[in-house]
Structure 1
Amino acid sequence: MTDNAYRVDTTSRLAQWRIDNLASCTYRKSDPFKIGRWNWRLILEKNRNLFIKLFPEMSSVNKDSPPIASFIIRVVSSLGGRKALVHPGIDF
């Protein structure tokens, strides 16, 4: 794997993680990325189902006041005509 396989590209309100070959992985953890004041990490687990998990990176800064955030997760698959799967909202 190249280092780019774990990098999450961000803007002020958007994070994008590109995985080119999902068939070959059952577990993958992204590099930490920053949105807002906190660092986050995405974890992908695949067995019979696909699970995408979003975790705040714990540090001394956010230990006493963990992040409160709301996210919309959108997964786009390039197989079969760029099918998009959207979860309406994930709250922390």
Structure 2
Amino acid sequence: MKVAVDGRLTSADDATCRAGAKVDLVSTTPVTKTTATGVTSWPLTKSECAALAAKLLEKGAIRINGSSVDQPDQITSACSKSSNSVTLTR
């Protein structure tokens, strides 16, 4: 588990709260959601995102953080967030 302060992940000992701050406990274990349009995994670190995207791109069209990716050289820049999602589209 990690702590998110105003939507930004931080370690528990690194969080300083102020009046009105939104604090959440966040699981960093990736989950998978299946819909009619694809299978999405999140939250993923940059390295987890890149590894999963490379595997899934071999199987078909993918989206990283909502953007279409169709070439391996696009993966690194697409996985640039601290928390990413990868979708294998149907």
TM-score normalised according to structure 2 size: 0.31
Greater radius of gyration (CA): 2
More strand per residue: 1
For CA contacts below 8 A with separation 6 or more, give which structure has more relative contact order. Answer: 2
- TM-score calculated relative to the size of structure 1: 0.30
